[in-house]
Structure 1
Amino acid sequence: MTIPRFWPRTLRWRVFLLVAGLLVLLTVTSVVTTAARVHVSDVGSRVRDTLRPAQTAVAALGKGYVDMETGERGFLLTRDPQFLQPYDSGKAAVTETESNIARLLAGDAESITLLDEVRAAGAAWRTQAAEPAIALARQDGTLADNQPGKALFDTLRARLAALQNRIDQLIEAGLASSRRANAVANVTTGVCVGLALVLGLASAVILRRSLAAPLNRLVAQVREVSGGDLHRTVEAAGPDELTRLGEAVEAMRVRILSESEQVAAAANRIARLEETDRIARTLGDTAIRRLYGITLDLQSAAARFPRSGPVMATAISGIDRTISALRTSVYGTAVTRPRPALRAQVSEVVEEMETTHGRAPGLVLTGDLDVAPPEEVVAEVTQVLRDLLRVAAVPGGGAEEVELVLSDQAIRLRVTCVVPDERVAGVERAVAEASGDAVVRRDPAGVTVEWRRPL
């Protein structure tokens, strides 16, 4: 699996992107589902509170007109005023129902237009057919021609049917819109759930490759180093956090290895010195006893041969001085020697690299070489130099040249190092930890570290 270039290098940003992706999917699902529910609720409310009552009202309106037409026919056939009661009640019901329908369908211009057409058709039937026929029958009992009234009432029926169809269409459209909204919500939820599963599986794979595998490899390498294999290189890989951790462990391993080699070299020198001292003491005791024996023999010879006394005395005096010098060399008190100068101690520190790392950088001494700074300054300079050389001793590189510049105003150290590109950042951090006053510069050939101590 190839990780794209835009993939973040740090672990926290990778986790953030994965969590953000899951949150985006959850947000999209919630928004779409909520919008669908709101839409379905709105449509349901409109159908329940507006369209269904309007549908019932249109049916009642048609019934009112039918009652009016039935009452009108009954009165014309019987001339009985009681048959006009359905006509009058239907007329009142029609007026009220039309007002109710107008209120319910106020937001739909097409429905209001159809309602106006129903009103116009109803008014035409009443004024042009029903009411004139009723008035004529009341006056002289003449039966009027009902054909125009039937045609007008058929027109009214057609207008009522058109209004009813319009309301039915609105109800069907609302129900279809609800079904579509539910379908969109279900599809969106399914897609988001599928994407969430895919993202979860991808997250597991990515985190395993970018975190678990590098971390397990780093732990295994650290265990090998902690088990005593200080020559095992700790390779830093993975996110930036693990890379920095690996570089820090590698720097610690190099430092421990360097210090261990220094301690081993010092222990070997001490052992050699102790063995040399033991051999010297043994040889000294043997030589002193033999010289004492020679002195006794010479004194005995001087006593036997008085003429050779002066010569024997001179020889005995020389042997005594030799014994005294030998005794002083082997058993004498320690002679306090002056502490070496700064340049001598710097030379010793550089030569230690030959012992501990198999190679020593070149040493350049410039400036006023007769400057003799205080002992605490000398100790500080040598300690800083040791730290810089230890930090620069990375695999595949190391210090190439050490320059010591002396003057009355300041002491300056410049260490030129060859460092692989992948370890430059680690060396810079290690230098900052070893000495906050050191300045690191990157050169085409490597890294240059400068440190200055004012006097």
Structure 2
Amino acid sequence: MTIPRFRPRTLRWRVILLVGGFLLLLLTTATVATVARFHVSDVGSRVREVLRPAQIATAGLGRAYVDMETGERGFQLTRDPEFLKPYDSGREAAAAARDRLGQLLGDDPGSVAILADIDAAGEAWRTRVAEPGIALAGRGGAVTNEPSTALFDTLRTRLGSLENHVNALVAAGLASSSGASTTANVTTAVCVGLALVLGLVAAFLVRRSLVVPLDRLVSQVREVSGGELHREVEASGPGELAELGTAVEAMRVRILSETEQVAASAHRIARLEETDRIARSLGDTAIRRLYGITLDLQSAAARFPRSGPVMATAITGIDRTISALRTSVYGSAPAGTPATLRAQVSEVVGELETTRGAAPGLLFTGHLSAEPPVDVVAELVQVLRELLHAATVPGGGAEEAELALADAAITLRVVAAGRPGVREALAGVREGVVVRVGPDRVTAEWRRPLPGSGPPGKPVHPSPPAPPDAPRR
């Protein structure tokens, strides 16, 4: 089974691991040093406050028993009560020293056991040798020293054991304190060494994982920003730098694509502009020629009145062709721009042709380039529509519509076949329509003055000028 190895891929994790390592070393050093300091302090306090006084009390207990033994022997030899003073004072000193040792060493089982043995040996010597010997010497009897020596030697041995045990406790405490200090020093030295090694490793990793990839990325970005858009940006290094490199590469590709699209668009625009220029040139030529044809037809209609209806129909078709060609070449008129009078009249006639399949001839006379006010044009178009629809009866209909533009008025004439009911229908369109009845034709005339109109020939939407000798439509 293969154990997966954890390798930090991102710069964030690498920084976290390095900082975590430094913090771990710092925490270890601080913990060991703190524990060692507390241990040394505790041991020092115990030695200073417990073991050193215990050594003094142990020595005082030994001197007290020696004073007791000296006073007991002197009284037995001299029978002088003065020699009992050391015995009595030694007994008090031994009791005080024993109480002191019990207080100091009461938490140490070994010391408590040795003190119990000392108490037993001292009690045996005092009750079996010292006090009987003093009583016997006080009565004048002879006292033997052999039991006294043996029991006191036992007491002296146990006192020596207590002294050695207390000394051993002091030595162990000092050794423990020294060991804790040594451990703290060694741990601190090891942590400092590891911190130095970790710092060197961190410097190497930062250079290898951050500085080198970042310098390479900056160099590539500078080349791209300098205009080398075909220079590929490599995504390498930690996760963050790799994502940044990927984003920069995507931006470079998008800029390159958009640049190519802009170049292609500029090329297409140039071609469209050239095509539009050619189309406008051809359109202008075609429109001028169509206008010339219209004027020729108008002139022929004036010379040959019988061909007037046919010529008017042809002229109307040419007008629509010119309008469609103008729209194709120059585009539709901007929104809100009113259509010209000729265009609106042609549109009404075209509607009639769409609905009935036939349309009357359309004739324009007078100042063809003049444009009446918008309200006059709207009223004229409405009257024209009403007259054309009124003349539409079974077997008949409007045959000709003439629009005459003069200096002070605009006149509309609609000529229809003299079918029954046509006169009444035309007369009932609106007030101001004058109806005249001929042998086989009915003519409806509507006239509208032009107050405040401009001088003749002043165009709003000019048309191409006609030749001087050609009649006006």
2 CA distance for matches of 1:171 and 1:215? Answer: 63
Q: Is the 8 A contact 1:7 1:14 kept in 2?
A: no
Please say which of residues 99-108 and 163-172 is displaced more in the overlay.
99-108
SS in 2 for 1:236: coil
Please say which of residues 254-263 and 265-274 is displaced more in the overlay.
265-274
Q: Where does residue 266 of structure 2 map in the other structure?
A: 267
Output one character per residue of 1:373-403: Cα deviation in whole Å (capped at 9) or x when no partner. xxxxxxxxxxxxxxxxxxxxxxxxxxxxxxx
Q: Give the partner amino acid of 2:257.
A: S
Q: 1:266 to 1:145 in 2, by over 3 A?
A: same
Q: Give the partner amino acid of 2:35.
A: A
The TM-score, its normalising length taken from structure 1, stands at 0.60
2 CA distance for matches of 1:263 and 1:248? Answer: 22
The TM-score, its normalising length taken from structure 2, stands at 0.58
**Structure 1 residue runs of 4 or more that deviate by more than 2 Å after TM superposition:** 268-289, 331-336
What is the 5 A alignment of 1:36-75? 36-75=36-75
2 CA distance for matches of 1:149 and 1:332? Answer: 149
Residue 237 in 1 paired to residue 226 in 2? no
Q: 2:330 aligns with which of 329, 333, 352?
A: 333
Q: Give the partner amino acid of 1:131.
A: E
2 CA distance for matches of 1:98 and 1:332? Answer: 131
Offset at residue 170 of structure 1 (A)? 0.8
Q: Where does residue 219 of structure 1 map in the other structure?
A: 218
1 CA distance for matches of 2:46 and 2:237? Answer: 59
Q: Is the 8 A contact 2:280 2:329 kept in 1?
A: no
- Please give the root-mean-square deviation of Cα atoms over the aligned residues, in Å: 3.1
Offset at residue 272 of structure 1 (A)? 3.9
Please say which of residues 72-81 and 161-170 is displaced more in the overlay.
72-81
1 CA distance for matches of 2:264 and 2:107? Answer: 99
Output one character per residue of 1:18-62: Cα deviation in whole Å (capped at 9) or x when no partner. 111111111111111111111111111111111111110010001
Equivalenced residues, count = 301
Q: Where does residue 98 of structure 1 map in the other structure?
A: 98
Q: Where does residue 303 of structure 1 map in the other structure?
A: none
1 CA distance for matches of 2:101 and 2:95? Answer: 10
Q: Give the partner amino acid of 1:61.
A: L
Output one character per residue of 1:206-264: Cα deviation in whole Å (capped at 9) or x when no partner. 12222222111111111111111111111111222212211111111111111111111
Q: 1:267 to 1:335 in 2, by over 3 A?
A: same
Q: Where does residue 159 of structure 1 map in the other structure?
A: 158
SS in 1 for 2:139: helix
1 CA distance for matches of 2:264 and 2:15? Answer: 48
Q: Give the partner amino acid of 1:46.
A: R
Q: Give the partner amino acid of 1:47.
A: V
2 CA distance for matches of 1:41 and 1:288? Answer: 115
1 CA distance for matches of 2:174 and 2:253? Answer: 76
How many percent of aligned residue pairs carry the same amino acid?
64
Offset at residue 335 of structure 1 (A)? 6.8
Q: Give the partner amino acid of 1:257.
A: L
Output one character per residue of 1:397-441: Cα deviation in whole Å (capped at 9) or x when no partner. xxxxxxxxxxxxxxxxxxxxxxxxxxxxxxxxxxxxxxxxxxxxx
Q: Give the partner amino acid of 1:202.
A: V
Q: Where does residue 116 of structure 1 map in the other structure?
A: 116
Q: Give the partner amino acid of 2:156.
A: R
Q: Where does residue 188 of structure 2 map in the other structure?
A: 189
Residue 203 in 1 paired to residue 166 in 2? no
- Gaps in structure 2 of 5+ consecutive residues: 290-317, 334-473
2 CA distance for matches of 1:333 and 1:124? Answer: 142
Q: Where does residue 129 of structure 2 map in the other structure?
A: 129
Q: Is the 8 A contact 2:280 2:330 kept in 1?
A: no
Offset at residue 283 of structure 1 (A)? 9.8
1 CA distance for matches of 2:329 and 2:172? Answer: 119
Q: Give the partner amino acid of 1:143.
A: A
1 CA distance for matches of 2:184 and 2:218? Answer: 48
2 CA distance for matches of 1:104 and 1:202? Answer: 54
Greater Rg by CA: 2
SS in 1 for 2:8: coil
Q: 1:163 to 1:5 in 2, by over 3 A?
A: closer
Q: 1:236 to 1:5 in 2, by over 3 A?
A: farther
2 CA distance for matches of 1:97 and 1:51? Answer: 14
Output one character per residue of 1:270-294: Cα deviation in whole Å (capped at 9) or x when no partner. 33444566678899999999x9xxx
SS in 1 for 2:233: coil
Q: Where does residue 469 of structure 2 map in the other structure?
A: none
Q: Where does residue 378 of structure 1 map in the other structure?
A: none
Q: Where does residue 422 of structure 2 map in the other structure?
A: none
Q: Where does residue 255 of structure 1 map in the other structure?
A: 254
Instruction: Identify the structure with the greater helix proportion.
Output: 1
